[in-house]
Structure 1
Amino acid sequence: MASKVVVIIATGEKKKARTGIVYAKNACAHNWLDEVKIVFFGPAETLIVEDEELSRLARETARECECLACKAISDREGISNQIEELGINVKYVGSVTSNLIKNGYVPMVW
């Protein structure tokens, strides 16, 4: 059985978001699992745009892993373009996340 995880980073707390991003980045870079996908959601979307350290980490992570951010939220907050500049795909992620879980991805939520 393949080891697959979807890392959902939704927190507005910097320390928690950093922990989730670093875990996801390392899981991808070091092939800890067969498949890793990252979804930035809610308050975390604003954090990765406004916080310099988290912006850098998110950009680096997007080079290693498939990263998505919620379009509904980023459009509402007016930050979709800034998220895309980090190399993160901006999409409606509700059905995407649900389908990943249906297809055996284990959700890790930060």
Structure 2
Amino acid sequence: MKDKLNILWINDNPQTAHTMVFMYAINAKTQNWFDEVEIIIWGSTAKLVAEDESIQEKIKMTKHSGVVIKACISCANMFGVTNKLKSLDIEVDSMGIP
């Protein structure tokens, strides 16, 4: 069994999302570099996801490839985007003891 890859997505720059986060996650999953691939939306990235439609489309595509996408509930609450992230079918959950 291969390992699990967790990508902690902390940079709210859309270009970083398109040219690193999504590209690497999709390839890691579809090329079988890892058995499980998960992106964790963290910090101001939660706001980017909630507001940027091109990012939202890329999230759908990424999930379709088998990548799991989750978001930190504390971060989502901080930016007031919890319900929006949930509406995008993103699991919003606690990522540890605050």
TM-score, normalised to structure 1, is 0.75
Q: Point out the structure with the larger helix share.
A: 1
* Structure showing greater relative contact order (alpha-carbon pairs closer than 8 Å, 6 or more residues apart): 1
Runs of 4+ deviating beyond 4 Å: none
The answer for unaligned runs of 5 or more in structure 2 is none
Alignment correspondent of 1:25: 26
Q: Which amino acid aligns with 1:53?
A: S
Residue 39 (structure 1) shift: 0.4
The answer for unaligned runs of 5 or more in structure 1 is 96-110
User: RMSD across aligned C-alpha pairs, in angstroms?
Assistant: 1.7
SS at 1:12's partner residue? coil
Alignment correspondent of 2:68: 66
- Is 1:9–1:20's contact at 8 Å kept on the other side of the alignment? yes
What is the distance in 2 between the residues matched to 1:20 and 1:41? Answer: 13
Matches within 5 A, 1:42-61: 42-61=43-62
Deviation per CA, 1:41-100, whole angstroms, max 9, x where unpaired? 1111111111111111112223322211010011121111111122210001136xxxxx
What is the distance in 2 between the residues matched to 1:16 and 1:94? Answer: 25
Identity score, percent: 28
Q: Which amino acid aligns with 1:44?
A: T
SS at 1:78's partner residue? coil
Residue 15 (structure 1) shift: 0.9
- Is 1:68–1:93's contact at 8 Å kept on the other side of the alignment? no
The count of corresponding residues between Structure 1 and Structure 2 is: 95
TM-score, normalised to structure 2, is 0.83
Alignment correspondent of 1:8: 8
